[in-house]
């Protein structure tokens, strides 16, 4: 089963660019995340924020668990940022999409 809620973060206009070519813009955005602006999205169409990725990922995980009638083991495979943001949200602030204290986990 493939769940779109567990897909990798969309980097908007930076999607597909070489890291070396966007390093300044990336550092500026990630610096603002470090300051707690976790709803700040990558620029361009479809660009996502850490809190947005965490919200959709946690929602997908909860829907997956709710779909199981009996307790069972579930294996989830996703990209690194999606995994980190979901774990940070679940471990640091289960009632919120993402907590600023989780920024250390976001890198």
| pLDDT given at position 62 | 83
Q: Residue 103 and residue 9: Cα distance in Å, rounded?
A: 16
Tell me the whole-structure pTM to 2 decimals: 0.80
- Asked if 46 and 11 touch (Cβ cutoff 8 Å), the reply is no
Q: Which tens digit of pLDDT belongs to each residue from 52-75?
A: 999 999 899 888 877 766 766 778
Furthest-apart CA atoms within the chain: distance in Å = 49
Q: Residue 36 and residue 81: Cα distance in Å, rounded?
A: 17
pLDDT < 70 positions in the chain: 68-69, 71-72, 93-107
């Amino acid at each position: 089963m493939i769940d779109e809620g567990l897909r990798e973060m969309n980097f908007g206009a930076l999607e597909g660019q070489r890291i070396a070519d966007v390093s300044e813009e990336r550092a500026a955005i990630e610096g603002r995340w470090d300051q707690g602006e976790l709803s700040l999205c990558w620029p361009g169409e479809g660009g996502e924020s850490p809190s947005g990725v965490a919200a959709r990922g946690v929602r997908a995980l909860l829907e997956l668990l709710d779909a199981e009638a009996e307790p069972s083991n579930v294996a989830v495979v996703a990209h690194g940022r999606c995994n980190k943001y979901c774990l940070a949200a679940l471990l640091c602030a289960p009632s919120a999409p993402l907590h600023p204290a989780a920024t250390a986990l976001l890198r």
